[in-house]
Amino acid sequence: MENVVTDENWKTCFCQLAPGLVLFARQWARSSADAEDIVQEAFVRFWRKQHDVSNRGLLYATVRSIALDFLRRDSRRARRESTAMSDVDQSVAPAFEIEDDAQRALVAALDHLPTEQREVLVMKIWSDLTFAEIASALEISQNTAASRYRYALAALKKNLATT
Amino acid sequence: MNDFSELEDQLRKLRPAQPSADLVTRIERALAEETSTPTAAVLPRERRFQFNWLSLGLGLAAAAALFLFAFIRLQQPATKAPNVASTSPGPVTATNAGGQFVPAGLTQVVYHTRDEGLHFPTSSSEPMRRVRSQTRDTLQWKNPKTGATLRISYPREEVSLVPVTGQ
């Protein structure tokens, strides 16, 4: 494990993956600081176990697992455990660098997506994961991942059309 | 999927916010430490020692069963034998040169005998009755100091010719 410290490759890997990972973690975190803490813990754990960095499905699964643990450890544990996913839906929005109103509307529409659709969309659009990698990260079938992606796009399109 | 291509392009134009600059530094520091670093908000879960009582119970039960089985086998060398032909208290030879084990018994159990009728062996002009018997011999040695026992058991088949007395 000591060679990990001297191995600078992780910086290159991490800098490429970091925006997508933090965005992915923000679905369960209330702030970007929390999301970064989740990503930090996940990446350190992933790297220490000497997993192959090309295994992005496993890396995202690690982030997701730690994010869900983070939710459970929250001080609002009891309230969150009863309505965990709906609470997340209401409180968390992906963080983007918004340039105009159209993008603002798009981000607002993203905020209304169900978590199971939004996490697939985030991994597909902003991390370029394949459906196989998404399926691996979420422990679902590739067909389910593809279906959720299509449902997410359809829901976004419908939402944008009404606004 | 073509229906969504324009929407996908719009989504890709959205840029995720960049992580803070010190995130890399924090990770670098965490990787440099010998053990994982607790962060301000995310504490690594403590690895609690989880005692598996079911495995312990099953293991103890298996060990007890093995011990009981071995004990019963040692305590019942030949008592259930159907037919004891002969028993002598002392076997003929010692088992090792060191003399730690001393002969403790020899048991011969005849568990099957079959009369195969009269035969006329070539070497004899008189008829003889051929009797085939199957025997299990058990030799036992014991170490008086440690109480350890050593048993050797083997099957043996014996064919004997018994002269028939003319009546």
The ipTM is 0.78
Q: Give the model's confidence band at A125: pLDDT under 50 very low, under 70 low, under 90 confident, else very high.
A: very high
Beta-carbon neighbour count of residue A128 at 10 Å?
11
Chain A nearest CA to B36, separation (Å): 8
Is the per-residue pLDDT at A149 higher than 90?
A: yes
* Cβ distance of A23 and B39 shorter than 8 Å: no
Chain B nearest CA to A119, separation (Å): 14
Provide the angle, in degrees to the nearest 10, between the axes of the packed helices A32-48 and A9-25: 140
Selection from A87, A125, A88, A123 nearest residue A106 by Cα: A125
Beta-carbon neighbour count of residue A7 at 10 Å?
11
Cβ A37 vs Cβ B38: under 8 Å: no
Is the per-residue pLDDT at B86 higher than 60?
A: no
Per-residue tokens: B124: 């004899």
* Cβ distance of B44 and A41 shorter than 8 Å: yes
Question: Amino acid letter at A4?
Answer: V
A5, A44, A95 ranked by CB distance to B16: nearest: A95
Is the per-residue pLDDT at B59 higher than 90?
A: no
> What residue segments make up the domains of chain A, in order of their start?
3-162
Per-residue tokens: A163: 């606004």
Per-residue CA distances from A145 to A16, A137, A138, B16, B50 (Å): 23, 10, 8, 22, 35
A20 contacts on B by Cβ (under 8 Å): 16
pLDDT at B49: 52
Is the per-residue pLDDT at A90 higher than 70?
A: no
Is the per-residue pLDDT at A10 higher than 60?
A: yes
